[in-house]
Amino acid sequence: MVYHTSNRKGALSDTIAAIATPAGRGGISIVRVSGSLCFQIAKQVTKQNLKPRYANFCSFYSHNRKNIDQGIALYFPAPQSFTGEDILEFHTHGSPVVTDHLLNSLFHFGARLARPGEFSERAFLNNKIDLSQAEAIADLIESTSLQAARNALSSLQGEFSKRINLLREQLIQIRCLVESSIDFSDEDISIVEPKSILNKLQDIQNTIKIIYSSAQQGALLQEGIKVALIGRPNVGKSSLYNKLIGKDAAIVTKIPGTTRDILCTDIVIDGLAISLVDTAGLHESIDLIELEGIRRTRKELDYVDHILLVSSNQDGLTKEEYELFNELPNGIQVTLIFNKIDLDLTPACIEQSNLGKIIRVSALTGEGIDLLIQHLRETAGFNIKEESEFSARRRHLNALQKTEAAVELTKAALTKGESEEIIAEELRQAQNYLGEITGKYYTDDLLGEIFSTFCIGK
Ligand SMILES: Nc1nc2c(c(=O)[nH]1)N(C=O)[C@@H](CNc1ccc(C(=O)N[C@@H](CCC(=O)O)C(=O)O)cc1)CN2
Ligand SMILES: Nc1nc2c(ncn2[C@@H]2O[C@H](COP(=O)(O)OP(=O)(O)OP(=O)(O)O)[C@@H](O)[C@H]2O)c(=O)[nH]1
Ligand SMILES: [K+]
């Protein structure tokens, strides 16, 4: 982890530009520029000195001095801007011909194309927002429900960071307490009372649990879950897929091996976003295309949260299905779906077996689909009644888990009567994990990972 130094920061001297509005035609488009050349570029494009933070109506000129549009230009001098640098915005008529031409002119004037998320990354690197706030911007843009959007806004406004920072300060206080006792140790006065510190650490763990639970709802609301349908050919995976997404996207035929590639659809069921994946039937195939589909299926399974292993045999898994079950990656929720109950008039139900839960359904009649959905929500821990307060990501949940584990280790060290140095070190670890959430500590790889998924111009 790097403390506030970054190679990505080196590029901050460039002036960057991008079209901030979606591609295509629309009422208005915005071309955005950030960096030290803004003032100069504004003069070249508008032939005026722009009044700061004011809607300047003006003509826009290209690098070869042709008038290309008339619109609104905004100039935000540093540091009072979104990125903390000089920012320039051109609000043009929403024609790609105009925006592309304008953008191209900006390159002639010395700007370069911004990377995805680079405006937000600069806002982070210039301490305008912290890392989880930057992530909240992307989450707000990507949100699929009003609740998710409101949560993301709350994180963007710093609600989540505030909770994390408070926790971090409490950890620092405890560490100072422990460390000050190290300073005094040669005088043989130990001012650390293990009992009172243990209590404080327990309080911290309780707070982590509360934040975690709210963050988990926030993350679920934002990211949803990825669910894969797998199974032998012809058991009805594609039929179930179509039933769940509510349209005929996957081809259904009597011919085994119809689905050869992976299909994926994002759906939202009562607020829970589900990314549903239909896969090629898994079996020993001799068809090359099918084999490739099977290979992709196995790879895809590494990224899912919940596997629905579909069978059409009401009496239990066949030998091949049982082998398939045993080959599934560890640590992923698996539910057995016995499909085609309409054929032998079995009622829809959910039952416990030694291989986990079994749900009996019919993709044809839709019986039992509600049970399946309810089960997916429950296993995900999705509880819409528990109003979540902010958006969060899995990255944050992982960091919170690591923090909690480090606090647990600190408690163990205290109980064992370990030296103050060891206890302080554990506390420092816990504190660093929290710092990863807000970006007090980060690596360039982490920044790359986060910002590369942003839209361009954001
Ligand atoms: N036209 C336009 N609309 C937009 C944005 C934008 O960049 N341009 N935003 C982009 O995401 C969002 C608004 N976010 C913004 C965040 C900070 C500042 C800003 O100028 N901050 C200064 C001054 C704050 C103040 O005066 O209170 C600062 O932080 O110093 C501007 C927009 C959504 N709408
Ligand atoms: N009676 C009945 N037939 C079903 C049901 N679900 C699917 N089928 C039929 O089973 C056959 C196979 O269905 P698919 O959905 O293509 O099966 P699949 O598992 O995706 O097959 P592959 O593409 O080979 O992997 C089709 O003829 C479907 O109409 C069901 O619940 N009841
Ligand atoms: K089929």
Question: Are 65 and 84 in contact, with CB atoms under 8 Å apart?
Answer: no
- Residue 332 CB partners (closer than 8 Å, separation 6+): 301, 304, 305, 306, 307
The tokens for 162 are 């505030």
Q: Answer yes or no: do 12 and 37 share one domain.
A: yes
Residue 51 DSSP label: P
Residue 394 DSSP label: H
Binding residues for GTP: 234-239, 253-259, 278-281
Q: Answer yes or no: do 238 and 361 share one domain.
A: yes
**Residue 426 is assigned to a structural domain of this protein:** yes
Q: Answer yes or no: do 291 and 427 share one domain.
A: no
Q: How many domains does the chain have?
A: 3
Q: Answer yes or no: do 249 and 358 share one domain.
A: yes
Question: Are 26 and 94 in contact, with CB atoms under 8 Å apart?
Answer: yes
**Residue 275 is assigned to a structural domain of this protein:** yes
Q: Answer yes or no: do 180 and 36 share one domain.
A: no
State residue 13's pLDDT score: 87
Q: Answer yes or no: do 399 and 350 share one domain.
A: no
Instruction: Report the alpha-carbon distance of residue 117 to residue 134 in Å, rounded.
Output: 9
Q: Name which residue sits closest to atom 24 of ligand 1, judged by CA.
A: 80
Residue 218 DSSP label: H
Q: Answer yes or no: do 308 and 374 share one domain.
A: yes
- Domain CATH for 324: 3.40.50.300
Q: Answer yes or no: do 217 and 232 share one domain.
A: no
Give the Å distance between the CA of 340 and the centre of ligand 2.
Answer: 8
**Residue 311 is assigned to a structural domain of this protein:** yes
Q: Answer yes or no: do 233 and 374 share one domain.
A: yes
Q: Name which residue sits closest to atom 8 of ligand 1, judged by CA.
A: 89
**Residue 168 is assigned to a structural domain of this protein:** yes
State residue 2's pLDDT score: 45
**Residue 305 is assigned to a structural domain of this protein:** yes
From the CA of 53, the nearest ligand is 1
Preceding amide of 256 cis, omega within 30: no
3-state secondary structure of 91: strand
Binding residues for K(+): 234, 253, 255, 258
Note down the domain range covering 292: 227-380
**Residue 136 is assigned to a structural domain of this protein:** no
- Residue 400 CB partners (closer than 8 Å, separation 6+): 208, 211, 212, 215, 433, 434, 437
**Residue 452 is assigned to a structural domain of this protein:** no
Atom of ligand 2 nearest to the CA of 231: 19
Domain boundary among the residues 128, 156, 175 is at 128
* Nearest-10 crossing angle of helices 369-380, 237-245: 80
Q: Answer yes or no: do 237 and 369 share one domain.
A: yes
- Domain CATH for 418: 1.20.120.430
Q: Answer yes or no: do 286 and 244 share one domain.
A: yes
Tell me if 90 CB under 6 Å of ligand 1. Answer: no
Q: Return averaged pLDDT per consecutive 10 residues of the chain, 458 residues in all.
A: 56 91 96 98 97 98 97 98 98 98 98 97 97 97 89 96 97 90 57 82 96 90 89 91 82 69 82 85 63 70 89 88 86 94 94 94 96 92 74 94 96 91 94 96 93 92
- Domain CATH for 74: 3.30.1360.120
State residue 279's pLDDT score: 83
Give the Å distance between the CA of 74 and the centre of ligand 2.
Answer: 58
Tell me if 451 CB under 6 Å of ligand 1. Answer: no
Q: Answer yes or no: do 90 and 26 share one domain.
A: yes
State the complex-level ipTM: 0.76
Tell me if 86 CB under 6 Å of ligand 1. Answer: no
State residue 3's pLDDT score: 47
Tell me if 92 CB under 6 Å of ligand 2. Answer: no
The tokens for 127 are 């301490």
Tell me if 396 CB under 6 Å of ligand 1. Answer: no
Amino acid at residue number 397 = L
**Residue 160 is assigned to a structural domain of this protein:** yes
Tell me if 363 CB under 6 Å of ligand 2. Answer: yes
Q: Name which residue sits closest to atom 6 of ligand 2, judged by CA.
A: 236
From the CA of 252, the nearest ligand is 2
Tell me if 391 CB under 6 Å of ligand 2. Answer: no
State residue 375's pLDDT score: 95
